[in-house]
């Protein structure tokens, strides 16, 4: 692996910057505007941040501002396996405490008329609604309004809806597309 380095420099509007460095890969990490880059292999015009060239050896790069304005540039030269700008270390200043909760498993029956599946629960941090029926769809609505086939989140037969991370504390309404579906399980915690 060849040594890698990041070069930071400014080019005045329409000016040229000569970089005498040997490499076979470069990438523009950041630039205020477009650049033209010339080497032994030829010239690339109008390059912007994120663009570069790999497996094309060079011993010098001539970099010209193509934006017509002052251009601050960060250019990486080195190995193509480089991951943009990742360097340094990570420290955890506070231990992450696993979250736990008591869960309530509830068997529910959903009909073809909208009804409340679960009451509002300000402590709810997790929600799972499973449709264990083999034929009927469920349509879930959130809040006080009625759930409808048109506005509800559809849970297909055998499917489930799970809310993790961000979970509603509102009442949950549900309607089905069959007369009575007693194969619904709701889990909240």
- Say what the pLDDT of residue 108 is: 95
Q: Which tens digit of pLDDT belongs to each residue from 145-168?
A: 899 999 999 999 999 999 887 889
Burial of 71 (0-12, 13-18, 19+ CB in 10 A): buried
Please name each of the domains of the chain with its CATH number: 5-77 (2.60.120.10), 104-188 (2.60.120.770)
What confidence category does residue 120 fall into, taking pLDDT thresholds of 50, 70 and 90?
very high
């Amino acid at each position: 692996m060849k040594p890698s380095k990041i070069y930071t420099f400014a080019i005045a509007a329409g000016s040229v910057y000569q970089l005498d460095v040997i490499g076979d890969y470069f990438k523009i990490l950041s630039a205020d505007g477009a650049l033209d880059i010339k080497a032994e292999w030829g010239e690339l015009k109008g390059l912007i941040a994120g663009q570069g060239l790999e497996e094309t050896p060079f011993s010098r790069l001539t970099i010209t501002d193509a934006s017509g304005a002052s251009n601050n540039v960060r250019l990486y030269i080195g190995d193509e396996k480089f991951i943009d700008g990742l360097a340094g270390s990570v420290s955890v200043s506070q231990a992450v405490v696993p979250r736990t909760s008591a869960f309530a498993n509830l068997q529910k029956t959903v009909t073809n008329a909208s009804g409340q599946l679960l009451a509002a629960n300000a402590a709810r941090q997790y929600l799972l609604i499973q449709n264990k029926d083999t034929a009927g769809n469920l349509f879930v609505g959130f809040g006080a309004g009625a759930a409808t086939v048109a506005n509800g989140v559809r849970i297909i037969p055998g499917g489930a809806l799970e809310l993790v991370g961000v979970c509603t504390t509102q009442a949950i309404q549900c309607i089905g597309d069959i007369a009575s579906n007693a194969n619904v399980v709701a889990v909240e915690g």
